[in-house]
Structure 1
Amino acid sequence: MSDTPAPLQAEDASPGNAKIVYILYLVGLIVGITSIVGVVMAYIYKGDAPAWLRDHYRWQIRTFWIGVLYTLIGMLTSMILVGYLVLLFVLIWYIVRCVKGLQALDKRQPLADSGSWLF
């Protein structure tokens, strides 16, 4: 028998990069540019990830782009004051999606519905 360690299997992949993306998203609420760095990372690492981790990257990418869409809607409708409620909803929605993703990531599980537009 050889003393060389077995190669890393796809299912044993570290969720560290996905966790960094979630953290960048949350920091992005204060320092906006980190969210863009996070979505770029999600696109880069998605291809080499195992299925359960690829699900997280999909969730992160969708969170970014749907968040941009909801934010634009909120900004456009803020002239009629309802937009401020939309922007508050987007803030809560964004935080909940990041926390939900982090919880599933810590359990090394895919998300229940990574294609969802809500939570």
Structure 2
Amino acid sequence: MPPRSTSPRGAEDITLLVYILQGLSFLFGITWFVAVIINYVKRDSVRGTWLDSHFKWQIRTFWFSLIWGVIGGFTYWVFLGYWILLIIPFWIAYRVVKGFIRLREGKPMYV
């Protein structure tokens, strides 16, 4: 793992902000989209640093939850979708908390 100092402090703050916005999306859904937009806009500034893995983690959390949400919506009437839609928020919460903890420890994410 590269030392923590290889990334600018501002990039760490942006990464933290995205985790906070993802967490707030349980209350205010729009922050989910704001978070992924920030990820894509700021992605070049973290490329090649240990924070790049956090950005990939955050972006994948967004897209996989969206894909599974659509699948859950289409299969809701078959009862399978009910379980998918029930599990997604817990999975998102796990990924946000796990990413936040590893960010605070200065560790990259495994992606």
Work out whether the TM-score is over 0.5.
Answer: yes
Residue 71 of structure 2 corresponds to 73
Q: Does 1:55 align with 2:53?
A: yes
* SS class of match (2:45): coil
Q: Supply the distance in 1 between the matched residues of 2:83 and 2:99 (Cα, whole angstroms).
A: 24
Q: 2:93 aligns with which of 95, 99, 118?
A: 95
Residue 5 of structure 1 corresponds to none
RMSD: 1.3
Q: What's the CA shift string for 1:52-83, capped at 9, x where partnerless?
A: 11110111111101110011111111111221
Name whichever structure is richer in helix by fraction: 2
Identity of aligned residues (%): 33
Residue 36 of structure 1 corresponds to 33
Gaps of 5+ in 2: none
TM-score by length of 2: 0.87
Q: Supply the distance in 1 between the matched residues of 2:84 and 2:7 (Cα, whole angstroms).
A: 40
Task: Give the ranges of 4+ consecutive aligned residues of structure 1 lying more than 3 Å apart after TM superposition.
Answer: none
Select the structure of larger CA radius of gyration: 1
Shift of 1:30: 2.2
Q: Supply the distance in 2 between the matched residues of 1:76 and 1:29 (Cα, whole angstroms).
A: 22
